[in-house]
Amino acid sequence: HEAVAVFVRRTSVQCGVPATWEIRLAPGWLAEQALLWDTLPHLVRNAFSHGREPAAHRLALGKPEALRLRIRAHASRAGLRLLVADDGAGVAAARAEADLWAGRGQGVPAVRAALTARAGSGGRVSLRWRGRAGRGALARACIFFF
């Protein structure tokens, strides 16, 4: 938990975006450290990038001054699920789809590659994003084992 909090804090400073966060990592993710660090940084950076809003704008909308992040990592026999949600600016659906699948960098392709490698031939990967302008975003990365 602490290493994830340190990463989020560092990213907040680097991006110049004040933030608060809540992190919940299921014990099953302790055995998946490589996968966690191959996926989480990209999803967190994306939240800061698309969640950025001026403090005055956030306050006018009734939001706290700082961006709020929720990070959840669940594990079960059926698979692994990682969620990164923010209450930021969000993006229009068409733009989100373009950023998610085409990307401006290597973030989302890197997440998909890490999930696919871990799933192997017997699993299934799901990488989804949803968000609404002004209402934040949620990225969900899952591996299902069969």
Q: The whole model's pTM is what?
A: 0.84
For residue 139, give both structure tokens. Answer: 């990225």
Domains with residue ranges and CATH for the chain: 2-145 (3.30.565.10)
Query: Strand pairing partners for 145?
Result: 123
Cβ burial of 135 (10 Å; 0-12, 13-18, 19+) is middle
**Confidence (pLDDT) at 100:** 46
CA distances from 140 to 25, 81, 125, 143 (A): 14, 7, 11, 10
User: Model confidence over 73-130: pLDDT tens digits?
Assistant: 998 888 889 999 999 988 654 354 444 433 455 677 888 888 898 888 888 999 888 8
Mean pLDDT, residues 135-143: 89
